[in-house]
Amino acid sequence: MHVAVFSGFGADRCCGFGVMLADPDNEATFKVLTVPGSLQRVRKAADAILQDVEAAGYTTEAVFAIKLALEEAITNAIKHGHSSDSSKPVTLCYAVSAEKCVIIIRDQGGGFNPREVPDCTKAERLALPYGRGIMLMRTYMDRVSYRKHGSEIYLMKRNK
């Protein structure tokens, strides 16, 4: 796992230099992990985020929600964003406080329009073994938004 620090992220960056504490309300302070795009390696990076979440005292339910959303977002980045090309890295930017966890996952794909994803609750889609990730992330996280034309997802969970 490669830990990288980028200067400036805002709408198109996710961390800055010289800041010791990551603040969920300030993307310039986020921790950044840039990982080769294999599921195994990106999941290791996700485990590091989950360790920070647990250390911050999140409830069991919140840890489960974050883990589920992370797994779905990572799988989507690799499978859809990178067409399973493990040579393309995935970037995870995050900050965890006692009150809130924010995670941004970026792939190098061309993005997508989340409004064009079929409704997985329609009768004709219920039997399909795929297509529920976005719904699950929206259900379990307090905020889910897509940026950079869909190649970046913003996930936020409050510790309730």
pLDDT tens for 105-159 read 999 999 888 888 777 777 887 777 667 888 899 999 999 999 998 899 999 999 9
Question: Model pTM greater than 0.85?
Answer: no
Mean pLDDT of 99-103: 97
> Among 55, 90, 15, 58, which residue's Cα sits nearest to residue 157?
58
Q: Which residues in 39-76 are b (16+ Cβ under 10 Å) and which e?
A: bebbeebbebbbebbeebebeeebbebbbbbbbbbbeb
